[in-house]
Structure 1
Amino acid sequence: MNTVTVYTTGPGCQRCKLTKDILTRRGVAFVEVDIREQPTAREYVVDELGYTEAPVVVVDEHDHWSGFRPDHIDRIARS
C-alpha cells in the first residue's frame, strides 16, 4: 500500500487528530501535511479535490475523502 496523505489544519483540528490516531492504531502509514503552512497543498485540496473541510485523506488519485471517516480507515487498513 502507498503511504496515505492526511491534509490537516493543525493541532486544533479534533477530527484531524482522531483520524491520525485511528490510522496509527490500525497500522496505516501516513504523512501529515498542514494546509495552513503549505499553500500549494491547500490549493490541491480545495481546487483540485473540491474539499472545504479537514481532514482530507488521500490514498491515491481515485480514493480520497474529507472528514472523520473510521469506516474508510477500516477499509484501507484491511487492504
Structure 2
Amino acid sequence: MSVTVYSAGPTCPQCTATFRHLGARGIEFTKVDIRDVESAREYVTDELGYSQAPVVVVDDEPENHWYGFRPDLIDRLSIEAGS
C-alpha cells in the first residue's frame, strides 16, 4: 500500500495529528509539503478539489483520498494492511 500525505507544513495541527496516527498504526507514508512543491499544490487543489490540508491519497487511486485528520479512515487502512 502506498500512502501520500500532502501537508501544509509543520505548523498544521491536523497534518501533525495525521502523521502521528499513521505512524502509531505502523503505516508507512510519504510526506509532501504543498508549500514547496507547486505541482503537488495543483494536484491537491485542481485535480482532487481540496482547499484544506492534510490530503491523504492511498495507492494513487483518484477515488481513495480524503482531507483532514481522519483517525477512522487511518484505522481502516491499518486493518486492511494487517498492521
The alignment's TM-score, normalised by the length of structure 2, stands at: 0.91
Q: After TM superposition, give the deviation of residue 11 of structure 1 in Å.
A: 0.2
Letter in 2 for 1:3: S
Amino acid at match of 2:76: R
Instruction: Give the number of the structure whose residues are more often strand, by fraction.
Output: 1
Percentage identity across aligned positions? Answer: 58
Q: Number of aligned pairs?
A: 78
In structure 1, give the amino acid aligned to 2:16. K
CA distance in 2, matches of 1:75, 1:50: 23
Gapped runs of 5+ residues in structure 2? none
Distance 2:2 2:36 in 1: 21
Task: Classify the secondary structure of the residue corresponding to 2:6.
Answer: strand
Residue equivalent to 1:33: 32
RMSD of aligned Cα (Å): 0.6
**Cα deviation code 1:1-23 (max 9, x no counterpart):** x2200000100000000000000
TM-score by length of 1: 0.96
Query: Could you list the per-position Cα deviations for residues 30-56 of structure 1 after superposition, in whole angstroms to 9, with x for gaps in the alignment?
Result: 000000000000000000000110000
